[in-house]
Structure 1
Amino acid sequence: MPSNWQHSELFIDGAWRRTARERTETVINPATEEPVGSAPVGEEPDVSLALAAARRAFDEGPWPRLSGADRSLLLGRFHDALVARAEEIVAVSVAESGPTRPVARFMHVNTALPVARYYADLAASAPRSESLPHSVLPAPGGASLLAGQVKAYDAVGVVSAITPFNVPFFMNVVKVFPALAAGNTVVLKPSPFTPLSAFLLAEAAAEAELPPGVLNLVTGGNEVGTALTTDPRVDLVTFTGSDAVGAKIMAQAASTLKRVTLELGGKSALIVREDADLAAAIGSAVGGISTFSGQACALATRHLVHNSVREQYVAGFTEALKRLTLGDPAEDGVTMGPLIHAAQRERVERYVRAGLDGGAELVAGGGRPAHLERGFFFEPTVFDNVDNRSVIAQEEIFGPVICVIGFDSDDEAVSLANDSAYGLGGGILSRDTGRAFEMARRVRTGQISINGGVGGLTPVAPFGGYGRSGIGRELGIEGLREYQETKVISFKAG
C-alpha cells in the first residue's frame, strides 16, 4: 500500500489537523478488494471547525476582496501544482474508483485540468460588473432624467461541495475551481468510497499558498454531509449524486434558505435512426457501457433504435461486447473495470432480475463474470424488447445495463426520449444531420450530441439537466455565475 496514500488528518484553515476522534477508514480497491490507502473519518466537530475557517476567510480574509488578476494568479499556481501531480492523479483514480488507465487519464487529467485552467483564467477575464441600457424616466414637474444601472457580481459566500465516487477528481475540480474563481470559500466533502484524490487537491492548494480557510477538506459519511447542508454558516450547497439524495439535500437546505445546485441522475436516450452508420453507433454504444462500467450519470442507457435496423444493431452490439476485457484496470489490455463496491453490484443484480420479471429479453451479460473471483465486476448487459415504461427503462441503474427500445418514426423516438423523469444527456446518430438537429431541439435534455458530438466535455459548454437530473449548470461562464449573487446599482446618469 503506497505510504503517501495513508491520510490521518483533514485540511482545515490552511493546516493539516487530526479529526475529533482520530478515526480512519481503509479505502478499498474495487478491482482487487485490497486496501489501497486510508482516510480520516470526519465528524460534526470537524465540520464546525472547517466552516468557521471558511466563514472567517470569506468575511474577514483577502480572498473575496482580491482583484480578479490576483485571484487568477493564485488559482493558476493551484492548477500548476495539480499538473505536476498528473501521474499520481491517474494512479489514485484507477486504484480508488476503478476506471482503466486511459479513461482515468482522459477524464481526470486531459479533461479536468483544462477545466481548472479555464476557471483560473476566467477569474481575471469574466466581467465583475456590466452596464445595463440607460433609461429615460419621468421626473417631478414634467421633466425627465437619465437613469443608469450597473449589474455587479458578488461571491455567494461559503460553499459546501459534496462530490460522488464515480469520477471523483474531476468532480472535485469542477466544483472547487469555479467556486474559488467567483471569490467564495469552500469546504469539500468527497465520497467516503473515493476520498484519496481529494487529498491531492488539498496538497496542491497548500503548495500554491492559497490563503488559510479558502479551501478546506473534510472527509466522512452522512454526519458530515448533513452538517454541510444544514449549518447556517453555509450559503450554497453544490452536490452531485443520485436524485434521491439530491431531494434530501434540498429539504435539508430549505430551513436556512441556502442556494442549491444539483447535478443528479440520468436515463439518457441514444436515438439510432434508420440511416445511422451502424458500425459507428455500435462503437459508441460499447464505449458508453464500458466507460466507468456504466457508472456515469450522462451515459446513454436507453438505446432507441429504428425497428428496421434494430435486429442488426442488437446483433452487432452484443457481438462487439465479447471483445471487451474485464479485469484489474491497472493492467494493460483491460478495457472495463469494476463497479465501486459490493452493494452497487447487488443493486445492478436486482435491476437485472426486475428486467427479466418485466418481460425484457436478456441478450448479453446479466451476471458476474465467472473468471474473476475477486473484485466487484459485472458483465456488460443488454436487454432487447424493453418497454419504455418498465422499471429498467425508467430508473437509473448506475451500472453496465443497456435497454434497447424500438421505434418506427422520428416523432415516436422523440416521444420515447422525453418519456422520462430525467433529462441529462443523449445522442442522435444519423447521416441526415439537419434532421438530427431538428430532433435534438425537441429532446428535453441538458446536452445532446449528434454523431458523437465533440467526443467529450469542454470547459466552455455548460453542463446540467432538466427535471430530476438537477438544478443549475456546471462549466462555462454559467458555472461561474452559479456561485455568484447579482446586484444592481442604480444612479442618475444626468
Structure 2
Amino acid sequence: MQQLWMGGRWQSARDGGTTTVVNPADLTELAEIQVAGVGDMERAIGMARSTFDDGVWRNQPPEKRAAVLRGAADHIEARIPELARLLTSELGCPIWFSEKAHVPNPVRHLRYYADLIENTPLEEARTDGVNRSLVVDEPVGVVGAITPWNGPLSSPTIKVAPALAAGCSVVVKPATLTPMTIMALGEAFAEAGLPEGVLSILPADREAGNLLIRHPEVDKIGFTGSTEVGKMIARTAADRVGRVTLELGGKSAAIVLRGADVDAMVTALLPMAFSVNGQLCISQSRVLVPRDMEDDVRDALAAAIAALKVGDPLDPATFIGPLVSQQQRDTVLGYLDVARAEGADVAVGGGAAPAAGPGWYVEPTLLAGVTNAMRVAQEEIFGPVMSLITYDDVEDAVKIANDSPYGLSGSVWGSDPEVALGVARQVRTGMVSINGAPQSWGTPFGGFKQSGIGREMGPEGLQSYLEKKSIALPAGTVVA
C-alpha cells in the first residue's frame, strides 16, 4: 500500500483513509493508496513552517539549492521509461506522450530553475540621486501546491521546482485519481539531499485539502484545475490575503485563415487538440474556419480523426486512450448529447468506444454546424471533442475567438506568418501558436479572464514565489 510522502520520507496516514487507483484502460486495480486526513495535513504544514522559519533550506545559497534541483532531475531522468509506463497506467494517456512530454518535461523544469536561480540577481541597489535602497527578493514562505489528475508529474513540478529554487517549503496535494507517479519527485529530492520537512506530497481528502487552502501558516497557494475550484480558492485566500497563482480552464480557438494549408493544419492540429485524450486545458477544441472553407476543413478533419487508433495506451501506435474515470467519460458523453440537442452535427465519432477495450473510452469526435453560443463551444468538455465553427471575415473570427469566459491558449493558421501574427496579437489569450509552432522553453504559461491569475514557467514562474523587500540604506552603507 502506498503511504504518504511526509517531509521527505514514507509515513503512514494517521487519520485519513484509503482509495484504490484503477487503470482506466482495463479497469484493473493498480494500487491501494493512503489518503491524508486533516491531522496528516496539519503535520505536513507544521513541518513546512518549521523548516522555513528555521532557514534550513531558504538560507542555503542559490548554488546549493540549484545543485539539489539538478540532482533531483538526474534521478527522474534515470527512471523515464519506468515512470512513463506508470503514468500511462494511472492516467490512460498514450505512452508516446508520457515518454515525449509528461516525464521528460519535469526533468527540464528542474534544470531550468536550477540554472535560473543561480543566474538571477536577488538583490539590487537603487538610488534616486540622494537616497539609496536595497531591493531584495525573498522566498514567499510556505507553499501549498494543489495539482490535477491530467498532469500527474509535470503539473506538480511546474510549482515545486521554482518554489524550491526560491527557498520555499512546499506541501503538494496531488489528485487522488493519479497519485502514484508524483511520489517519484519526493524520492528524487530525498536522494538529492533536500532537508527533511521541506517537501511533503499528500494525496488528501476534501477536508484536508480545504485545510491547506485556508491554513494561516500557508503563505501561497499554487493551483491548477477547474475554474470553479479556482474561484473558491481565490475567495478563501482573500480572507487572509493569501497569495495565489491559479491556472484554470480553457476553451481555445484555432483560427484557420483563408489560404491556409489545410492538410498541414490538420496534421499539426490533432496533437494540439487530442493529447492526453483531449484532457488538457490548452486543447485546441474550437476550430474557426471561413464559411467557404467549411466543407474542405470538415472533410479533412473527419478523415484524419476517423483514422486515429483508439485503444491500449501502452501500444505505441495508439493515439487516443481512455479517459481517466467513468465520471469523466460520462461527462463527455453528456456533452455530446447536449451538442445533438443544440443542433450540432456529428461529423465523426460521437459516442463511447467499447471496441477499444473494457476501459473508459470515447471516440474522438468532430462536431460540425456548431455556433459559438452553444454550450459545447462555451464550456470545457475535457475530452477528445473538437467543434467546427464558421466565420465571415477575420474581424468576425477574432470576435468569436474572444467570445469566451476563458483565455488560455489558441492558434492561428495561415499562408503568411506575418498576417497570422497580426491576428494572434488580437486574440485575448495567454498563449498563441502560429501554424503549430511550439512555444520557446522559458516562456510564461497562464491565461487571461477566467483561465487564471498569474503565470507559471519561465522567469515569471520564479518571481511568483518571491516577495520584494525594500531596505533603506544610511549614507555610506556598503552593499556586497
TM-score category, normalised to shorter length: over 0.9
In 2, the alpha carbon distance for the partners of 1:280 and 1:38 equals 45
Shift of 1:322: 1.6
TM-score normalized by the length of structure 2: 0.96
What is residue 431 of structure 1 aligned with on the other side?
415
Shift of 1:109: 2.9
Unaligned runs of 5+ in 1: 1-5, 137-145
- Pick the aligned partner of 2:316 from 332, 335, 344: 332
Alignment of 1:411-422 (within 5 A): 411-422=395-406
What is residue 122 of structure 2 aligned with on the other side?
128
- Are the equivalent residues in 2 in contact too, given 1:153–1:487 (CA < 8 A)? yes
In 1, the alpha carbon distance for the partners of 2:195 and 2:319 equals 42
What is residue 458 of structure 2 aligned with on the other side?
476
In 2, the alpha carbon distance for the partners of 1:279 and 1:253 equals 47
Alignment of 1:184-263 (within 5 A): 184-263=168-247
Q: Tell me if 1:176 matches 2:151.
A: no
- Are the equivalent residues in 2 in contact too, given 1:119–1:177 (CA < 8 A)? yes
In 2, the alpha carbon distance for the partners of 1:251 and 1:226 equals 12
What is residue 466 of structure 1 aligned with on the other side?
448
3-state SS in 2 of match to 1:196: coil
- Are the equivalent residues in 1 in contact too, given 2:26–2:358 (CA < 8 A)? yes
What is residue 274 of structure 2 aligned with on the other side?
290
Shift of 1:70: 1.2
- Whichever residue aligns with residue 23 of structure 2, its letter is N
- Pick the aligned partner of 1:374 from 348, 358, 366: 358
What is residue 356 of structure 1 aligned with on the other side?
340
In 2, the alpha carbon distance for the partners of 1:130 and 1:403 equals 50
Q: Which moved more, 1:373-382 or 1:251-260?
A: 251-260
In 1, the alpha carbon distance for the partners of 2:39 and 2:116 equals 35
What is residue 294 of structure 2 aligned with on the other side?
310
3-state SS in 2 of match to 1:159: strand
Shift of 1:487: 1.2
TM-score normalized by the length of structure 1: 0.94
What is residue 74 of structure 1 aligned with on the other side?
68
In 2, the alpha carbon distance for the partners of 1:200 and 1:14 equals 11
In 2, the alpha carbon distance for the partners of 1:45 and 1:78 equals 29
Q: Tell me if 1:488 matches 2:447.
A: no
In 2, the alpha carbon distance for the partners of 1:334 and 1:75 equals 34
In 2, the alpha carbon distance for the partners of 1:115 and 1:372 equals 35
Shift of 1:38: 2.6
What is residue 94 of structure 2 aligned with on the other side?
100
- Whichever residue aligns with residue 57 of structure 1, its letter is T
- Are the equivalent residues in 2 in contact too, given 1:226–1:252 (CA < 8 A)? no
3-state SS in 2 of match to 1:202: helix
- Pick the aligned partner of 1:167 from 151, 172, 189: 151
- Are the equivalent residues in 1 in contact too, given 2:306–2:348 (CA < 8 A)? no
In 2, the alpha carbon distance for the partners of 1:488 and 1:373 equals 61
Shift of 1:254: 2.2
Equivalent pairs: percent with the same residue?
39
What is residue 446 of structure 1 aligned with on the other side?
430
- Are the equivalent residues in 1 in contact too, given 2:15–2:38 (CA < 8 A)? no
Q: Tell me if 1:51 matches 2:45.
A: yes
Q: Tell me if 1:398 matches 2:382.
A: yes
Shift of 1:172: 1.4
3-state SS in 1 of match to 2:136: strand
- Are the equivalent residues in 2 in contact too, given 1:19–1:46 (CA < 8 A)? yes
What is residue 305 of structure 2 aligned with on the other side?
321
Q: Which moved more, 1:419-428 or 1:249-258?
A: 249-258
In 1, the alpha carbon distance for the partners of 2:227 and 2:276 equals 19
3-state SS in 1 of match to 2:89: helix
- Are the equivalent residues in 2 in contact too, given 1:111–1:458 (CA < 8 A)? no
- Whichever residue aligns with residue 376 of structure 1, its letter is W
In 2, the alpha carbon distance for the partners of 1:289 and 1:50 equals 38
Shift of 1:84: 1.6
- Are the equivalent residues in 2 in contact too, given 1:89–1:108 (CA < 8 A)? no
- Are the equivalent residues in 1 in contact too, given 2:148–2:225 (CA < 8 A)? yes
- Whichever residue aligns with residue 25 of structure 1, its letter is T
- Are the equivalent residues in 1 in contact too, given 2:58–2:168 (CA < 8 A)? yes
**Aligned CA-pair RMSD:** 1.4
The CA deviation string for residues 160-183 of structure 1, in whole angstroms up to 9 with x for no partner, is: 001101121111111110110011
- Are the equivalent residues in 1 in contact too, given 2:16–2:38 (CA < 8 A)? no
The CA deviation string for residues 232-253 of structure 1, in whole angstroms up to 9 with x for no partner, is: 1100001100101111111222
3-state SS in 1 of match to 2:194: coil
The CA deviation string for residues 444-469 of structure 1, in whole angstroms up to 9 with x for no partner, is: 00000101122xx5441100000000
Shift of 1:258: 0.8
- Pick the aligned partner of 2:329 from 335, 342, 345: 345
Deviating above 6 A after TM superposition, structure 1's stretches of 4 or more consecutive aligned residues are none
In 1, the alpha carbon distance for the partners of 2:68 and 2:414 equals 46
What is residue 27 of structure 1 aligned with on the other side?
21
Q: Tell me if 1:64 matches 2:58.
A: yes
- Whichever residue aligns with residue 93 of structure 1, its letter is L
- Are the equivalent residues in 2 in contact too, given 1:289–1:380 (CA < 8 A)? no
Unaligned runs of 5+ in 2: none
In 1, the alpha carbon distance for the partners of 2:253 and 2:314 equals 31
